[in-house]
Amino acid sequence: MIEGLNKIFESRIRLGIMSVLMVNDWVDFNTLKELLKVTDGNLASHISALEKNEFITIRKEFVGKKPKTSYAASKLGKQAFKKHLAALEKLLKGNM
């Protein structure tokens, strides 16, 4: 196993979710779905995995009469993702 790589981020979709959340304070479900070009169910299952690991924070609110769910990277999630990216960078440079 490569030191520092986090299995939770092996999925292209989870990697995408975290990448978007690292550069934005809050992103709503529909925006994530459009950016990543995934189905509702697919996105929901990956968000659930990130939530279970406490890598994201969820905010539910109503805008008018419609529910709106938004996500942000948690402090733990940001740390884990940065560590994962550093390990990837190290791997790409051939310094395993």
Q: What is the pLDDT of residues 17-37, one digit of tens each?
A: 999 999 999 999 999 999 999
What's the mean per-residue pLDDT of the chain? 93
pTM of the model: 0.90
Tokens encoding 64: 């008018």
Query: Quick check: is 2 in a domain?
Result: no
Query: Quick check: is 25 in a domain?
Result: yes
30: domain CATH number is: 1.10.10.10
DSSP letters, 15-71, are: HHHHHHHHS-S-EEHHHHHHHHT--HHHHHHHHHHHHHTT-EEEEEEEETTEEEEEE
pLDDT over threshold 70, residue 1: no
pLDDT over threshold 90, residue 91: no
Q: How confident is the model at residue 95 (pLDDT cuts 50, 70, 90)?
A: low
Instruction: Supply the range of the domain harboring residue 78.
Output: 7-90
